[in-house]
A and B are shown apart, each in its own frame.
Chain A
Amino acid sequence: MRATAAERTQTGGLVLLCLASWAVPGVGHLWLGRRSKGIVFLVALPVMFAVGLALRGRLFPFELSDPLVCLAALADVSIGITYFVATSLGYGAGDVRALTYEYGNAFLIVAGLLNLLVMIDAYDVAVGRK
């Protein structure tokens, strides 16, 4: 069945919404008019990511030879633009000798994964499931 123009536009809008929601946590919810939720995500997730960096966690590289490292990198990059800002500023090298290294990794990885959940939630709101 061929999609109508309106459906195609809607699909394009959904893709754009998901991309925006991935790039900046909470923007998807703000876009959809869920202001309070959007502001909570906009503040909480980058702060969680920043705490991970402050705890000397590592932003893992995409090493295809090591699947677990690759998955961690995928989770790290799921926080969106914040990841690229942090790497361009030289953060995220990680210090394995630091007492808080593993905590830092947990904060960084989980912040990214939570942002994916937020993105899926924005999608659900947009298609009327919530």
Chain B
Amino acid sequence: MRSHLLLMALFAFFVSLVFAVISRDAPGDQLRFGGMLFGGFIVTAVVISWLMYPFPF
């Protein structure tokens, strides 16, 4: 797998999963918190990527 986006999403998935399971007890809360973390990772990465886009290096 060479897609940077997919690798980043996979990384975000694992980290979100572990954080959600550590910090919440109820499965519903874990799912909600994990989804929020995962979305936050992806959105933040895309926003930062676009902010870096004009840089020449």
Residue of A nearest to B17 (CB): A44
Residues 23-41 (chain A) with a chain B CB within 8 angstroms: 36-37, 40-41
A48 lies within 8 A of B14 (CB): yes
Tell me, yes or no, whether B1 is within 8 Å of chain A by CB. Answer: yes
Known contacts A99-B2, A100-B1; is-contact A41 B7 (Cβ 8 Å): no
A107 lies within 8 A of B11 (CB): yes
Interchain CB contact (< 8 A) of B18 among A36, A106, A114: A114
Bound-state Cα–Cα, A109 to B37, Å: 20
Interface of B is mostly: helix
Q: How far is the CB of A111 from chain B (nearest CB, A)?
A: 8
Bound-state Cα–Cα, A118 to B21, Å: 10
Tell me, yes or no, whether B22 is within 8 Å of chain A by CB. Answer: yes
B11 lies within 8 A of A45 (CB): no
Q: How far is the CB of B5 from chain A (nearest CB, A)?
A: 12
Residues 1-49 (chain B) with a chain A CB within 8 angstroms: 1-2, 4, 7, 10-11, 14-15, 17-18, 21-22, 27
A residues in contact (CB < 8 Å) with B: 36-37, 40-41, 44-45, 47-48, 51, 55, 99-100, 103, 106-107, 110-111, 114, 117-118, 121
